Every structure is written in structure tokens, then in C-alpha cells.
Amino acid sequence: MSDDLNIKPTDWQSPEMVRHTQMRNRREKRFKLFGLSAVILAASFLFLLLGKITLDAAPGFLQTSIEVDINFDKAVIGDPRQMGRDAFIENVRRTNMLRLVQASMDIYFSEVTDRRDRRRLLRLFSAGARDQLRNMLLADPMIAGTSKRVSLLASDDIDQVIKGHTDISLPELQRKVKNKELSWLQKFEDDDRVSLHFHSLFFTSGDSRDPELSGIWGAAVGSALTLFITLIIAFPVGVLSAIYLEEFAPKNRFTDFIEININNLAAVPSIVFGLLGLAVFLGTMGLPRSAPLVGGMTLALMTLPTIIIASRASIKAVPPSIRDAAMGLGASPMQVVFHHVLPLAFPGILTGTIIGMAQALGETAPLLMIGMVAFIVDIPASFTDAATALPVQIYLWADSPERAFVEKTSAAILVLLTFLIVMNALAIWLRQKFEQDW
Amino acid sequence: MQQSMTEFKNMTEQAVPKMSARDIHVRYGDNHAVKGISLDLHLNEITSLIGPSGCGKSTFLRCLNRMNDSVAGCKVTGQILLDNKNIYDQNIDVVQLRARVGMVFQKPNPFPKSIYDNVAYGPRIHGLAHNRTDLDEIVETSLERAGLWQEVKDRMDSPGTALSGGQQQRLCIARAIAVNPEVILMDEPCSALDPIATAKVETLMDELKSEYAIVIVTHSMQQAARISQKTAFFHLGELVEQGDTTQIFTAPRNEKTRDYITGRFG
């Protein structure tokens, strides 16, 4: 009759047990609270960032124009009927169109006669006003000799005044826009000739020294060409490596070594890949500098480990019972992979690839090393043309001294973020489309 | 003299075995999982492999169609003859071997494809059907022989994974017999099924034995007694006793066998 065999039932109502339960509940509550506050903190930072960028970017999509009465004087630009079409076009190309603007200003501000002041009047307008007038004439030579009210792009300094980004209460000496310009601008405003409108040029032009003429299209095309090269190199190579390593490679020290190195490669700072691209693609292979071809190859090197790791993980996640079933029916190893493993692993591979591509899209450092940081005005037309990429464009504009580039920078960031969000949404959509149950 | 005459008679009665294992050893690294098993498998017979967990019966079963080849570190020695040819010979095509020796697994594992494609997959990869009509016929007869045709004939396009557990297992059996194998290996095919589905699968096996040699690994002594003609008792990687099922269950020669089937260990 020993007592220790006599097991007493637990008294759940005892003060000790009640306290224990209370403490456990408190701990649970506290943990949930921590988690919730972490999520709220992260979300608010994200919100703050997106909100700030969007607010900064909004004026970047707008541009000030000033309406001016232009007399397309035949004495200045020539007469298309007399000269013939080709000679007229040639003449228009050579003529300084600002003379038309000057003539218009001389009439509008007849009180301004000083040579310097007359030139300052011209500077209210963007250098792009020239091209605007020239393109109008080239599109329709018959307007020669007529008068027309034309909406000309304002210069970036005037644009900033209209958008309220210039502090006009500062002493005149500390301002770029002086009192005279302000008074002239006031006259335009009084006549209701100043308008702020959507700036489509921002989406269609390449880079420029003038903020009001610079656009994102050159960089977007550069990014697209670069990413295309990245995709066609990194996707097949990455997926094939993953399949081989996961399904066919013997498990030995050598493959372990390769696996460790692939994982290490994923953690290598991206600028190192840039240096590699500089040394190998430009140095040894002599490929053109600043080209999307080289950029894409460099980014492919950087994206490969991401794709391989993601693909291996999703191949590994295919249940072995499916492999057994196929093998038991006499499917060859290749048939097992292509008929059963790949279709099931495909959503994961696709997601990994798109995430890798999104990473590549946002990468700046390696592109700096291979010269894609150059100032390039033309829209790249091929893989070997000099080009830049969206994040590099952002970097370049952020570095520019003009106040107007601040909003352009934010606008470009917004465009880049839109690209990224679209790519990630695509990844999610594809994943759900291809996902199957098993 | 009399005795040797009966022995001779027994031998001639006994057809040549479809498959026979000779002194099979399996090692996983240092783990000696199967120790010198020799066993004959005959057409028109169901052979049960019984024994406690970890005794090597599944490992042995997976040797019979070389499914162990893909297991890392697994080494098989000895001979397994299929129609008197060693399947571990260098010049044997493993893919063809697995078409001749089909397998049904413990957990029903239909492909995440339609019922039709599940059954049609084997004939397709082996080129057994010359046209769509041929293939349709193979699929239909296979499902019929697996006793599933009546239940699924109107929904051949729905996914195989949407069937109930018992139906899935019969689909797997249909899939296995669609490639026209000679031997069917079953690794605890009913352990994930309820008694009604189990009964259906057992009836099916009984019908199928008229055409195939069937080997089944089972943990259920009743199942072994119900369906099999031959039984082999494994323990710790060794084949302790083999013989006619009735003899093993009524008059086991070995003490361990008797302890196991009477539930004293294992």
C-alpha cells in the first residue's frame, strides 16, 4: 500500500492553477498585440512612403503652357508655294523658330525694348518651344503666312512658379526668377493664357537636360530590352539547372558544393556582378558599353541564383508519391520530370522567376558598372544601342540640380513602382491559374 | 521412395515460378535491411508478405521492380529472375521492367489529371495504343476490370483526385493494369481505406489473380488469410517462414511465426 501510486486528480480550481491559466492567457494576448503593432508599423511606413512619393510625383505629370499668338511669317520661314515642299522643309529645319516667338513677344510686350530684356522674355519658354513650332510647320506647311494662337511649353523655372514650388517672398537676389519675369508672367495670367495640363511628353520622350522636355520612355524601353535579355538567359538556364540538380544529379560532395555556392551567390552584393560584367563582357569579350545586351547578361547572372533556388524548392515540393506512381508505370526519368513534376512545380517556378525579374528591374548598381548610367537622349532601338534603365534614370534625375527634376524623380519612381506591382500581380495571377490540387 | 515420388509430383504440379528472388540483400548505407531472401512468385497466385513494421517486406517488394534504384544509398545484391532473366542485369531496361511488373502504393496516388488521363497515361508512354479508339478501349476495359467503370463512366474528365479514397485506389489499380503487366506488386493497398472499400479491393484482387502474379504487403493478418494462397513471414530482414497460407496460419513451423500470427508480438 504505497502512497505514491495513489494519483490525485489535478485541481484545476486551485489558486496556483488559476494563476497559471491567467498568465498563459496574458502571454497570448501580449504576443498578439506585439504582432499587430509590428504589422501596423510596417504598413504605416509603407503608406507614408507611397503617399509621399505620390504627392511629390503628382505635379511631375503636369506641365505649364503659355498661349502665344504666333504669326508664321513667310519672311522668316519661307513660302511653301513658291519654294516647293522639300526646300521649304529644309528652310524650316534651318530657321531659328524662336524668331517667331520673339516677334510675337515684341507685339505683346511692346513696352519691352531693351535687348537683354527681350532675350529674357524668350527664356520664359522652354527650349522645346522651338521644336513645337517646327513640328507644326512640318506637319502642315500651309499654315505659313497665317496667325495662330499656340500653347507653348513654359520653361522649368516658370513651371515651378506656377506650381507654387518657388518661394516668391524671398529677396529677388536669392531667386532664379526675378521680379521682371514675375510681372510678365502676371500679365499672361491676367489674360488667362497660362494653363497647367497633363504632360504626355513625359511618357513619350527620352532624357533631356531640360526637365520639362525629359521623359521616361527611353529608360522604360531600355529596361524592357534589358529585362528581355535577362529573361531569355536566366529562365532556361535557371530552370534546367534546378531540374538537373534536383532530379538527376548524383548526391555527392561535388553537388553539395555546387548547391552551397548557388546559395552564396544569391547573397553576393549586386555591384560585384556589375564588376564581373565589366571585366568579362566589356573587357574580355569586347561587347558594346551601355548596351541592354550587356546589362541583361549581367542582371541574368544576378537573377540566376534566385530562379534556381525558387525552382528547386518548388520541384522539391512535388509529392514523391506522384513520382513513384509515374515511375511504377514505367515512365522514364525524363518523362517523370516533364509529364508530372514540371507541371506541378510550374506555378512556383514562374513566381520565383517573376520575383527575380522584378529584382532585376529595380537593380541599379550593376548597371552603373557597365556604363548604363550615361546621359542618353535617344530611345534605344536595339539591344546594342546605348541605353539606360528606369532605376538608373531615377538616380540620374535625383542627382540633377534643377528643382523641377525633384518631381520628375518622384514621377519616375511611381512609374517603376507601377511596373513592379504589375509584375507581382502577374506572378500571383499566374500562380493561381496554374495551381492544381493533388 | 514413396516420399520422393510425391515430391516429384509436387514439383511438376508446381509451374515454373514467374519471378523468383535468390539470396537478396539490401543495404541502406550501414543498415542491412533485407538479409538473404529467396522467394518464388507464381502466376495465378496471391503471395502475402507479412511481418512487423520495419522487417524489410516493403523494401523487398520494391526490389521486385527496382523502385529502390532511385533511393539514395540503397544497394541491392542477389538475383531476381523474371521469366528466368535476372532483372538486375546490366542490359535490362528498367522502364520496360516496370511496365511488366506494375505497382500499387499504400496511399492512393492518382495523378492530378482527369480519370481518363490517369488510366491512359501508361499505354500512351509505352505506345500500346495505335489510335484514339484503341486507347478508349484500353481505358474502358481497365476501369471495368478494376470495377470502377460503372461509377466513373459519366465523368471521365473530372480529376482523379476528386474520387473517394477507395475509388482512387481502384483507379490506381486500373492505371497499373492498363499497361498490361505480368506481375502486380501491392504495398499495403488497403491501409488507407475503410472496410467497405477494402472489401471491394480484395474482391478485385481475387478476380485479377486469374491473369497475374500478385504480391501484397499487408499488416492485416485477416487480409492475408482471406485473399492469399502463399504467405511469407518476414522478421528483422529475414524470411522466417514461407508456405501455403493455410499451413502458415493453422500450423506454423516456426515459433516466431506462431507468436506473430497469434498476436503475441509485433
For chain A, list the domains and their CATH numbers: 59-199 (no CATH), 217-434 (1.10.3720.10)
Q: Cell numbers of A302, please?
A: 544576378
Helix or strand or coil: residue A136? helix
For chain B, list the domains and their CATH numbers: 2-261 (3.40.50.300)
Which residue, among B66, B103, B158, would best test binding to A if mutated, counting the most A CBs under 10 Å from its CB?
Answer: B103
Q: Cell numbers of B259, please?
A: 507468436
Cα R_g (chain A), whole angstroms: 32
CB A365 within 8 A of CB A344: no
Residue type, A286: G
For chain B, positions 163-192, list CB contacts with chain A under 8 A: 172, 175-176, 179
Average the pLDDT over A214-228 and give the result.
Answer: 94
Q: Check residue B12 and give its pLDDT.
A: 45
Query: B23-37, pLDDT tens digit by residue?
Result: 999 998 888 888 988
Cβ density class B15-31: b for 16+ within 10 Å, e for less: eebbbbbeebbbeeeee
Which residue, among A329, A334, A335, A438, would best test binding to B if mutated, counting the most B CBs under 10 Å from its CB?
Answer: A329
User: With an 8 Å Cβ cutoff, are A332 and B95 in contact?
Assistant: yes
Residues of chain B with Cβ-Cβ distance to A325 below 8 Å are 105, 109-111, 172, 175
Share of chain A above pLDDT 70, in %: 98
Q: Does B67 touch chain A (CB under 8 A)?
A: yes
Query: B242-255, pLDDT tens digit by residue?
Result: 999 999 999 889 88
Please give, rounded to a whole number of angstroms, the shortest distance from the CA of B126 to a CA of chain A. 8
User: With an 8 Å Cβ cutoff, are B110 and A331 in contact?
Assistant: no
Q: Check residue A4 and give its pLDDT.
A: 61
Query: A138-190, pLDDT tens digit by residue?
Result: 888 888 888 889 999 999 999 999 988 888 888 888 888 888 889 999 999 99
Q: Check residue B1 and give its pLDDT.
A: 45
Q: Does A321 touch chain B (CB under 8 A)?
A: yes
Q: How confident is the model at residue B103 (pLDDT cuts 50, 70, 90)?
A: very high
User: With an 8 Å Cβ cutoff, are B105 and A322 in contact?
Assistant: no
Q: How confident is the model at residue A409 (pLDDT cuts 50, 70, 90)?
A: very high
Q: Does B128 touch chain A (CB under 8 A)?
A: no
CB A88 within 8 A of CB A141: yes
CB A311 within 8 A of CB A345: yes
Q: Does A82 touch chain B (CB under 8 A)?
A: no
CA neighbours within 13 Å on the CB side: how many for A409?
15
Q: How many CB atoms lie within 10 A of CB A320?
A: 11
Average the pLDDT over A224-240 and give the result.
Answer: 95
Q: Cell numbers of A155, please?
A: 520653361
**Angle of helix A342-361 relative to helix A217-243, nearest 10 degrees?**
140
Average the pLDDT over A1-6 and give the result.
Answer: 59
Residue of A33 and B207 predicted with greater confidence? A33
Share of chain A above pLDDT 90, in %: 49
Neighbouring residues of A3: CB distance < 8 A, sequence distance ≥ 6: none
Q: How confident is the model at residue A74 (pLDDT cuts 50, 70, 90)?
A: confident
Q: Cell numbers of B215, please?
A: 504480391
Q: How confident is the model at residue A1 (pLDDT cuts 50, 70, 90)?
A: very low
Residues of chain B with Cβ-Cβ distance to A436 below 8 Å are 112
Q: Cell numbers of A314, please?
A: 518548388
For A168-233, give the DSSP string. TTS-GGG-SS-HHHHHHHHHHHHTT-EEEEE-THHHH----SSGGG--SHHHHHHHHHHHHHHHHH
Residue type, A168: I
Is the pLDDT at B125 greater than 50, yes or no? yes
Is the pLDDT at A436 greater than 70, yes or no? no
Residue A437, Cα to own-chain centre: how many angstroms? 36
Query: A417-434, pLDDT tens digit by residue?
Result: 999 999 889 888 888 888
Q: Check residue A374 and give its pLDDT.
A: 85
Q: Does A342 touch chain B (CB under 8 A)?
A: no
Residues of chain B with Cβ-Cβ distance to A321 below 8 Å are 105, 107, 109
Q: Check residue A437 and give its pLDDT.
A: 54
Q: Check residue A300 and give its pLDDT.
A: 95
Is the pLDDT at B79 greater than 50, yes or no? yes
Is the pLDDT at A438 greater than 50, yes or no? no
